[in-house]
Amino acid sequence: MSNPHKGRTGLDRIRHAAGYSLEGLTSAYRGESAFRQETWLAVALVPLAFWLGGTWVECALLAGSVVMVLVVELLNSAVEAAVDRTSFELHPLAKNAKDFGSAAVFLSLALTGAIWAAALWHRFIT
């Protein structure tokens, strides 16, 4: 049996996929306070990355790490939505899924913090 939602091809598929992506970003921004906070942090830090980074690799690491936090937060929100859609009942597997997503966000934030701290150290201390 084929999926009736998979019939688009070419530019029509790309146009619809872009629309779904924008809907997802809008929904995450409106419904997830953590994503909203991280978005505003990204608005400040991504331009700063191009000032702080001395090479294109440094700029990419600084800006990319910030964008990575947004990506991981979106994936965490998707896991939470899927778990909540299944059931609001407390279950160890549901808790694990949500905790794993939260841990992924934490690790992405820790990595971003370490990259930024190293760049700031290199720029201003050494």
* 38 flagged as catalytic: no
Please tell me whether residues 10 and 43 are part of one structural domain.
no
* Count of beta carbons in the 10 Å neighbourhood of residue 9: 8
pLDDT at residue 97, as a whole number: 97
Domain count along the chain: 2
Range of the domain at 117: 33-124
pLDDT at residue 1, as a whole number: 59
Please tell me whether residues 15 and 49 are part of one structural domain.
no
Please tell me whether residues 82 and 112 are part of one structural domain.
yes
Q: Which of 32, 38, 58, 73 is catalytic?
A: 73
pLDDT at residue 8, as a whole number: 83
- pLDDT tens for the chain, 126 residues: list them: 567 667 788 899 999 999 999 999 999 999 999 999 999 999 999 999 999 999 999 999 999 999 999 999 999 999 999 999 999 899 999 999 999 999 999 999 999 999 999 999 999 998
CA–CA distance, 20 with 31 (Å, rounded to integer)? 16
Q: Are 85 and 106 in contact (CB under 8 A)?
A: no
Any residues with CB less than 8 A from the CB of 61 and at least 6 apart, and which? Answer: 53, 115, 119
Please tell me whether residues 53 and 13 are part of one structural domain.
no
Please tell me whether residues 17 and 37 are part of one structural domain.
no
pLDDT at residue 5, as a whole number: 66
Quote the radius of gyration of the chain (alpha carbons, Å).
18
User: Is the overall model pTM greater than 0.75, yes or no?
Assistant: yes
- Look up residue 74 and give its two tokens: 């979106």
